[in-house]
Structure 1
Amino acid sequence: MALKMMLAGAAAMMLRQLPLAAPVEQAPLVARGMDDLPLEPSPIEPSWIISGEPFARVGLHSRAGDDAATTAMWDCTAGEFRWYFDWDETVVILEGEVHVTAQDGSQRTLRQGDIAYFAGKTWATWRIDNYVRKIAFCRKRFPAPIALAYQLRNLLRGDKGSSGGLAA
């Protein structure tokens, strides 16, 4: 128990040293119809393309005031490519389907209405036979010291979340 308290104290001291940015003013509600969000070309990195000529577009719906989260609409035509998820991303397939192979070799076909989570800092192969449209909820990962502080806090609280996440 004493070790837990020492670690928690050290983490708290580290967090107190971090400069806090002034809050960014933002609208309390951002709402649009799915068909009212303009999509702009968002080319896939050519070296990632395995086959076909996939054409992707993206439209930013909203961005958190701290720039740690975004919500966007994305669509893509037929093709196969590798994709690097720099941020954690949860997707909801709105139209079409995509065949996904994760970096661990697991495979899944995502269709309209399916929800999937892709961990940040991972690769996946996407094969789109015709077309897919998704909404993406993206979140930057916390820097290691902050993630550790949350994990310590959860440990001290006795939180036993099924994913070991950073529940508030």
Structure 2
Amino acid sequence: MALKMMLAGAAAMMLRQIPLAVPVEQTPVVSHALDALPMEPAPIEPSWILAGEPMARVGLHSRSGDDAASTAVWDCTAGEFRWFFDWDETVMILEGEVHVTAQDGSERTLRQGDIAYFAGKTWATWRIDTYVRKIAFCRKRLPAPVALAYQLRNMLRGDRGSQGGLAA
């Protein structure tokens, strides 16, 4: 089974080297002033709301050509809710603060200027007392065989400084 996973991962890596028949047209640089980014309602799943009436909005800044990563600005009014991070997400708080309880029970308060990472496929409880605004960098998780292939490659190359990441 492990050999099959390694072979599948190696095959996936090789396929990534083959150019697509139709190249994806992508803008080389995307920029917006934060206050000029259009924001749209992004309702929180009602069954996730624990207290209050939090109202969220999102403004998509950019999306990678392979649709595996995106950057957005998100804001929300007061309330408490559970949130499922389907993708890996790194956030930087731009304004306000949020009290976060991770699924392991650890608690943190994130304030303006703080950066936090939320692993994909995890839950967290967010309590916002007044308002929070963040920038979110989201990345889809690679399939396990591909992630394993990257980790093996990194070990062979001696890349140990990336905390088990997928250094390019």
List 4+ stretches of structure 1 deviating above 2 A: 7-23
Gaps of 5+ in 2: none
TM-score, normalization by structure 2: 0.89
**1:11 to partner: Cα distance:** 3.9
Map 1:112-123 onto structure 2 (within 5 A).
Answer: 112-123=112-123
Deviation, structure 1 residue 148: 1.0
Structure 1 unaligned segments of length 5 or more: list them.
1-6
Q: 1:109 to 1:31 in 2, by over 3 A?
A: same
Decide whether the 8 Å contact of 1:92 with 1:116 is kept in 2: yes
In structure 1, what is the equivalent of residue 96 of structure 2?
A: 96
| CA distance, structure 2, for counterparts of residue 8 and residue 119 of structure 1 | 24
1:136 is paired with a residue whose SS is: strand
Task: Measure the CA separation in 1 of the matches of 2:8 and 2:40.
Answer: 46
Which residue of the partner structure matches residue 141 of structure 2? 141
State the shift of 1:159 in Å. 1.8
Distance 2:111 2:38 in 1: 23
TM-score (norm: length of structure 1):
0.89
Residue 3 of structure 2 is aligned to residue 12 of structure 1:
no
Q: CA RMSD in A?
A: 1.9
What is the letter of the counterpart of residue 80 of structure 1?
E
CA contact (8 A) 1:94 1:133 kept: yes
**Whole-Å Cα distance in 2 between the matches of residues 138 and 49 of structure 1?**
22
Q: Which amino acid aligns with 2:28?
A: P
Q: What amino acid maps onto 1:12 in structure 2?
A: A
Partner of 2:125: 125
* CA separation of 1:147 and 1:108: change in aligned 2, threshold 3 A: same
| 2-structure distance, mates of 1:120, 1:112 | 23
Relative to structure 1, the CA distance from residue 158 to residue 50 in structure 2 (aligned partners, 3 Å threshold; closer, same or farther) is same
> 2:25, 2:125 → 1: CA distance?
38
> Is residue 70 of structure 2 the alignment partner of residue 70 of structure 1?
yes
